[in-house]
Amino acid sequence: MKMTNPQPPELARVASTFAALGSEQRLAVLNALVRAGPEGLSIGDLGARAGVAGSTLTHHMKILSQAGLVRQERRGRSIICAAVAYTELRHLSDFLLRECCADVPEDHRGHDHG
């Protein structure tokens, strides 16, 4: 059986991204932005939809932005936030599922052993 263990640079990048998502509030923020699509949301709308406001929202947006998952841009007098890393989010799920059941005998795959 060929092992395809992730290389250290990939592990570091994935771990960093998962760390950025390691908060219920940040997940709520990202979920609201993903649901809003590429046009994004104003900071006020984002806070209302995610249930996070003020400096807490600013803090979470900074972490998500540093992880490359979201962007913020000024449009007139508004700050618009949007999810930008749909490919990265897909990569995270692929990372988890890539070797699903690789170490389980084929005749036991897909069975719940509770």
The residues pairing with 78 across neighbouring beta strands, listed in sequence order, are 75
Helix (H, G, I), strand (E, B), or coil: what is residue 53?
coil
Question: What pLDDT does residue 89 have?
Answer: 83
Q: What is the largest CA-CA distance in the chain?
A: 60
User: Is residue 69 assigned to a domain?
Assistant: yes
**Per the domain annotation, does 46 fall within a domain?**
yes
106 domain residue, yes or no: no
Asked if residue 71 is part of any domain, the answer here is yes
Average pLDDT over residues 7-11: 74
Position 71 pLDDT exceeds 60: yes
**pLDDT in the model for residue 109:** 65
Of 64 and 86, the one with more pLDDT = 64
Query: Between 13 and 73, whose confidence is greater?
Result: 73
Q: How many domains does the chain fold into?
A: 1
pLDDT (tens digit per residue) in 15-42: 888 899 899 999 999 999 999 999 999 9
Domain containing residue 39: CATH number: 1.10.10.10
pTM given for the model: 0.75
Reply yes or no on whether the pLDDT at 111 is more than 80.
no
Residue 3 lies in a domain: no
Q: Is residue 113 part of a domain?
A: no
More reliable by pLDDT, 89 or 81: 81
* Domain with 55 in it: 8-94
In a domain, 62, yes or no: yes
Give the angle 41-45-47 at the CA atoms, nearest 5°. 110
Residue 57 within any structural domain of the chain: yes
Q: Give yes or no for residue 100 having a pLDDT over 80.
A: no
